[in-house]
Amino acid sequence: MKTTNLLHLSQSNLRHFMANISSKKSSFIRKTLRLIIVATAMSALGGCGNKPRTTVEKFLKDCAAQNFEDAKQYATQEAGLQIDWASGMSGMEKEMLKNAGNAQNTPAFKFIFVREEINGDHAVVTYRPTENAEEQSVPLQRINGKWLVSSH
């Protein structure tokens, strides 16, 4: 293997050597910056799907549609047990709820966002199920980076 002694390089070879290092360095910097930008964008976009507001909206829509198993994916384990209890009603009770929800004088469920309060790994989302309804609050807890509806 032949080694080059920098002290013996001619002036033109030295310029060529320095230009080559400079272009490799700037190429490395450009690639590194691209990687940083892409990683930042991915983490920012990745977090969009799991905000307390989004979690509560999906959870409540599944509950309103009586898709309790789907709703449990947005809930803590403790809240999931409460969902199991609620979904364990008799067939007659479920049918009564379903018919009540389909009645013309009962407004369809809506999620009207009011506010979101985040304090560390806990959050509260306040919403109204209809335009004229009272505000209701849903507590959440962040577990392993994911917001989940909590029972307290």
Q: What is the tens place of the pLDDT at every residue in 79-90?
A: 999 888 877 765
- Domain contains 4: no
Question: Greater confidence, 131 or 21?
Answer: 131
CA atoms of 72 and 1, how far apart (whole Å): 65
- Domain contains 134: yes
Closest among 128, 124, 113 to 147, alpha carbons compared: 124
Q: Do 44 and 69 have their domain in common?
A: no
Residue 128 banded pLDDT, cuts 50, 70, 90: very high
136 and 126 in contact (C-beta within 8 Å)? yes
Q: What is the tens place of the pLDDT at every residue in 3-26?
A: 454 445 455 665 665 566 666 655
- What is the DSSP secondary structure assignment for residue 114, as one 8-state letter? E
CA atoms of 112 and 122, how far apart (whole Å): 21
Q: Do 135 and 97 have their domain in common?
A: yes
How far apart, in Å, are the Cα atoms of 102 and each of 95, 110, 130, 142? 11, 14, 15, 34
pLDDT value for 47: 44
Cα 26 to chain centroid, rounded: 36
pTM of the model: 0.59
What average pLDDT does the structure give for the chain?
A: 74
Q: What is the tens place of the pLDDT at every residue in 98-118?
A: 555 554 444 567 899 999 999
Q: What is the tens place of the pLDDT at every residue in 23-67?
A: 665 565 545 545 444 343 333 334 445 899 999 999 999 988 889
**CATH assignment of the domain containing 85:** 3.10.450.50
